Chain A
Amino acid sequence: MSDLLVIAERRGNEIHSSTFELLGKARELSIKRPLTVSVVVLSDKPVEEESAYALFSGGADRIILAVDRSFSRFNFEPYTKTLASIVREFAPEIVLAPATTSGRTYMPGLAALLKTGLTADCTGLDIEEETGNLLQTRPAIGGNIMATIKTPNHRPQMATVRPKTFSALKEAYESKSELVNFEVTPDLTQTEAKLIEFHPIGAGQKGVQDAEVIIAGGMGLRKVENMEPIFRLSKMINGTVGASRKIVDSKWIGHEAQVGLSGHTVKPKIYIAAGISGAVQHIAGMQTAEFIVAINRDRNAAIFNFADIGLVGDAVEILNELAKSLESEVKR
């Protein structure tokens, strides 16, 4: 049986949710074509029992653990060389990694060393049963089209996937629970690049990526003052404010709020697009939301094609109306 490797994303001692999303997708692919799913963990200490259990029940048949001091945080040369060595040993058909700042850096490095293809930011992955070719779909040309890309003559086939694109398994996987310790030889971790300091950002504030409810504004709000009902509503429901690229470029709000191809990909339970016309770049970042509300003056706005409910009208008026109505609900 051929192998599929998922490269785990670590945040401190925790395994990041994006790893489980990739494991979920890997299990889905293995229904079409039998695959042994391994998760590769590069860490400066052994994985805790709890994390190992989570990875196995999350869909991994095997954990490949490589432990070395130089893996405390992502470092280009040790990561790419060690991963290349692991890939050569296990000869997987497919290698998947989250499209995070580290994944988007070591995966190109790895593809370069292995002379194989890599597709960034896939929004869809499928497999051809016969050939085992991975069908990698991603937005292309500024997001105006979706391109499906194959790596027909090279192995492994490599892809990065943005966090929140796929779903983790809902039920625990019955795994063979194999743990392999990969020996990290000194030549693999040789580098002169040194981490001097790390300043963590304060936890607590929920980023748009982890939000359950997002109320996002666009140019249809007309002026920055009209963002007020968005902030008010979002506070009432403990939501997070999102933004289209245009209002970020206009400096109405910081880049951290930007949803779309050049911002964040989000997968909230509810997404409200207020005064956002629905450029494909924006759609690419929010189309996997569970429930989408579009509010726009222009009944032909593209955003309505991607929404579950659409309200044709002035976004500011409608949001104010909604906020007032919710306020009376709270008071009651």
Chain B
Amino acid sequence: MIHKLIPSIFRITRDIATRVTIPKSVPRKAPPNRAAGSPAYSLSGNEQGISLTEVLAGIVVSTILIALAAVAIITFFNKFTELSHFADVQQRAYETIETVKYGYPFEELDTYVFVGIANADSIQLQALPGGWGRYSGVRCIPDRSAQGHAHDFVRYYYSRYDQAILMEARHGVQYYQQQIFPQRGEENIEITQFDFTPLGGGGANNPRVVRLEIKAEAIISEEKRKEISYSTIIARGR
């Protein structure tokens, strides 16, 4: 069977001899000028192929270029994420201090009423259960002289269950409860401290001035965190 598929050496020689026999009367075609790179004999007609050295050189150069680009892109995105989270936690913590100080805005007809420490009639610092005596909440009593506002209050406190700073309030007949920092869905922020300290010799019951400290961490990855630490003094204005 095999001898039928593979012709003998004599047969091959005879075939070659037959093929290379060119009659003198037939004009020969000019060979393509590959060095010139003319469109007629371009890559599609180029049957020279590429050598192993060229392949290896191409692979090495491509690998270096791709590795450089990959490292640059990964570094860029990692750093961008880190800076973005860090900027977020800074801004959100600062806004929280502003809210506790100047007040949460309650809509009232065509205006807003703000109730915070700075504009409260009285405040009371609150130690939360398991808080080791630290004050992690403040209850602000605003001006209650207006009709229908005799029971108004605003409370800003740290909830260990939610691991967040919450606001609960009563304004008129409305009751509010809202998570203010971090907002729901902001899983990459963790609060590590939210403490009030009475200053000026006052106690927890209606101090005129308090120190507020907030510490929070932006969770960049499992191993990497960035912390912010804010501290300020807030005086009750009334």
Partners in one complex: no
Chain A residues within 8 Å of B, Cβ to Cβ: none
Interface residues of B (CB under 8 A from A): none
